[in-house]
A = this chain, B = another copy of it.
């Protein structure tokens, strides 16, 4: 009587109630083989009446086919990660897959193995690795080669099935925008890089070199927006700094805060640009010039690639998209005296 004590119906219960054999029930469940309309209806009625839900565990065991996608990420609450995961989940749900999340916080192999052990012992259809930071990159190498894998990141790499957001091209375009405004060079604040050099930094450097501008030393920020404040202060103290490109919008907000605290204005004295087009970027004072990254789309594309591989398709192993430059009010031409100084 107590529903909480009723144990779930099995396929045998359904078969009995519908007056058919167990394999017939299985056939209507999987839709694999033809079943006469009469029996099919009887089975469906029994399923509904019993509230039967097939056990995924038994199913996986018998069919050797899983319906779970594991997502491995270095972080889940950062804007970009959270959005990417949202896109993955959305696409997975549409394809009747379920998403499992595992966070890896370290780059140490043993720690990674420990973190992903519970997940890898699950029956997995495939794995999505968010390769935006060192832990994500390290985790990629610990996935058994027998599992279909797709990497999502900001830089193309050979030999990998991956969906990317072409950050270096976008960063190059953003740097060009600043240079076009008349700045002699552009400083860069880097967020924790995924490799020796991430796409944003690469694009920035490439634009500077192509235009013959000096490549100033990098500043390194953490993921915490407040880490930008001190960097902003330091940059503001250097009178030759007129343009700063930050690795993400949140750091840009911190940097602006630090610059303003030092008594210099944005963009009048110093232009500051971010990256990502965070939901608050347009609300910031001043509204941020940035690059719109479609993270949710990246997640969807990545999952699609993975599903293709799972289906055994030999087609595309790669999907790239170019983020869009969004010019707002935090970037402007350098102040007149800076321009003069440059010419001299």
Contacts and interface: CB of A to CB of B under 8 A. Distances in A.
Contacts of A123: 55-57
Interface residues of A, number: 63
Contact of A100 (B55, B99, B117): B99
B118 A103 contact: no
Interface stretch (A204-212, A275-283, A310-318, A323-331): A275-283
Contact of A121 (B54, B82, B100, B120): B54
A133 interface: no
Given A123-B55, A146-B6, A85 B98 contact: no
A334 interface: no
Contact of A56 (B8, B83, B115, B122): B122
A119 B56 CA distance: 9
A76 B57 contact: no
A154 to B, nearest CB: 18
A280 B250 contact: yes
Nearest to A279: B225
Interface string A1-31: 0011111100000000000000000000000
A98 B96 contact: no
Nearest to A148: B4
A48 interface: no
Contacts of A285: 257, 260, 285
A36 interface: no
Nearest to A83: B77
A168 interface: no
Interface of A: 3-8, 51, 53-61, 66-68, 75-77, 79, 82-83, 85-86, 89-90, 93, 96-103, 115, 117-123, 144-146, 224-226, 229, 250, 253-254, 257, 260, 279-280, 282-283, 285
Top-6 shortest CB links A-B: A77-B82, A57-B60, A57-B123, A82-B82, A56-B121, A4-B145
